[in-house]
Amino acid sequence: MTEEISKANNKIRCLIVDDESVAIKGIADYINELDFLIVDSTCSSAIEAAEILKNREIDLMFLDINMPHLTGLAFLETLAKAPLTIITTAYSEYALDGYRLNVVDYLLKPFDFQRFFQAVTKARDSFESHNVEKIPESLYIRQGDSFFRIEWKDILFVEAMQNYLKLHIKDRILVIHQTMASLEERLPKDAFFRIHRSYLVNISSIQSIMGNCLFIDGKSLPISQRKKDDLMNTVVYKNLISK
């Protein structure tokens, strides 16, 4: 049993979202033919899929477009951190919208195993390249003619000020000429959260959240309305131990 669990843990965990049971079975049968994929969950609506993604670690989602209440594309646009996604649909006119949302591939129903294999191979390549990416534990910050080494875990938050950034460290503030987007790429995405166009925070440094503000080291930082729900869903509610 332990060996079986270990093997399953090395596979790409898949979620199939489709309102047709025949379509779900067809994709599941294809998945079962490949040793690097495993069906984790299936559901018939985007609303059910949202709940699954809140509670389970999904690596790859097969997503139909035309579903009741909420279309697959509309659902995908609501996700702050979507898993790798392959669109499965009978309608070719949505292809451009799918690629705009950075989907891995677009499978037009009915599709055969060869076409399915091409799509999931692309997904596996993306999955593996993402997992081997290494974020250095420390960064070098230039201050005049000097270079200071800091560990990213010591950054409390980053504040954008016109054409430069203020790095609020535990014991000092460092100023660098860099864009927020470029620094964000250098930091681990699961450790930092962009709460506002001007603020990037270390999640582990958050002391409290009250209304549209959070507090770090006694300082109040604004949370934009657009980011508030993402913050609560991806950081707070996942770690909530009481209500």
pLDDT tens readout for residues 46-71 = 999 999 999 999 999 999 999 988 99
Q: Do residue 16 and residue 127 come from a single domain?
A: yes
Q: Do residue 8 and residue 94 come from a single domain?
A: yes
The answer to whether the CB of 59 falls within 8 A of the CB of 53 is no
Q: Which residues contact 135 (CB under 8 A, 6 or more apart)?
A: 152, 186, 187, 188
pLDDT tens readout for residues 8-58 = 457 999 999 999 999 999 999 999 999 999 999 999 999 999 999 999 999
Q: Do residue 165 and residue 194 come from a single domain?
A: yes
Task: State residue 173's pLDDT score.
Answer: 92
CATH number at residue 17: 3.40.50.2300
Which of 117, 132, 147 lies at the terminal end of a domain, its last residue? 132
The answer to whether the CB of 121 falls within 8 A of the CB of 96 is no
DSSP annotation string for 31-81: HHT-TTEEEEEEESSHHHHHHHHHHS--SEEEEES--SSS-HHHHHHH-SS
Q: Do residue 14 and residue 116 come from a single domain?
A: yes
The count of structural domains within the chain is 2
CATH number at residue 191: 2.40.50.1020
User: What range defines the domain where residue 149 resides?
Assistant: 138-239
Task: State residue 138's pLDDT score.
Answer: 82
Q: Do residue 233 and residue 157 come from a single domain?
A: yes
Question: Global pTM?
Answer: 0.54
Which of 70, 97, 132 lies at the terminal end of a domain, its last residue? 132
Q: Is the pLDDT of residue 1 over 60?
A: no
Q: Do residue 222 and residue 166 come from a single domain?
A: yes
Q: Which residues contact 156 (CB under 8 A, 6 or more apart)?
A: 168, 169, 170, 201, 202, 205, 216, 217
Which of 85, 103, 132 lies at the terminal end of a domain, its last residue? 132
Q: Is the pLDDT of residue 219 over 70?
A: yes
Q: Do residue 94 and residue 186 come from a single domain?
A: no
